[in-house]
Amino acid sequence: MSHYVDVTTEIKDEKALVKALGRLGYQGMVEVYDHAVNLYGYRGDMRSQKANVVLRRKNLSSASNDIGFERMSDGRYRAHISEYDESIGYNEQWRNKLYTYYGVEKAKMDCKARGYKYVEDVDEKQRPRLRVSF
Amino acid sequence: MPEMILTFEWDGKTVHKQTKGFKGSSCVKETKFIEEGLGKAGDRKLKAEYYIREQEKDQNRTRA
């Protein structure tokens, strides 16, 4: 039997999120906290927003604020990105790319945990693709 | 060899899952972990070979 199905990704796995940030160039720069911590602004001012997965402003641009992902009560992560950082490229397109890589990394982790081998490549439309053997 | 192909749209949320080469109805059972791990699955579209196999099963049941 064979089938097709479309799945809608939900950002719920901290490790996969960190790996996805790594693929965007932030490997080894991401801080992870069990309890959410405050984010800081470009002048070193503490912000009211909290996050469990944090990309500090020193790793972004000189005028950037921290970027964070806060774990909500339903287990999903919500992004905290300032208007300034949105304007310099950490926008919806950046988040979509991040979340796409999240899906790839989450799928790879789940396949690996079950001992399935996979190959990652891109299809003819340059979309990431995983071929998993059973 | 049974295979699952996952294609990821750049919209950050849509993943197309395709399976092939599985025997019987095992493909749904064996690959469901991906749907559960990623998020929420939409409607499942079964390929023609599924219906052929199910038809064969019905015929065998009738003979038995």
Write the pLDDT tens digit of every residue in A33-50: 999 999 999 999 999 999
**In 3-state terms, what secondary structure has residue A64?**
coil
Say how far apart CA A55 and CA A65 lie, in whole Å.
9
Say how far apart CA A131 and CA B5 lie, in whole Å.
5
- What is residue A89's predicted lDDT score, i.e. its pLDDT? 97
Non-local (6+) Cβ contacts of A7 within 8 A are: B14, B15, B17, B34, B35, B38, B39, B40, B41, B42
Instruction: Render pLDDT for B3-56 as a digit per residue (tens, 0 to 9).
Output: 999 999 999 999 999 999 988 778 888 999 999 999 999 888 877 655 555 555
Mutate to test the interface with A, among B15, B18, B47 (most CBs of A within 10 A): B15
Choose the closest CB to A132 out of B4, B12, B50: B4
Chain B contact for A98 (CB, 8 A cutoff): yes
CA A31 to chain B, closest CA, distance in angstroms equals 22
Say how far apart CA B11 and CA A97 lie, in whole Å.
7
Beta-bridge partners for A55: A30, A67
**In 3-state terms, what secondary structure has residue A34?**
strand
Q: What ipTM was predicted for this assembly?
A: 0.94
Cα→Cα distances A69→A24, A79, A128, Å: 15, 4, 23
A10 chain-B contacts, CB cut-off 8 A: 38-40
CA A53 to chain B, closest CA, distance in angstroms equals 18
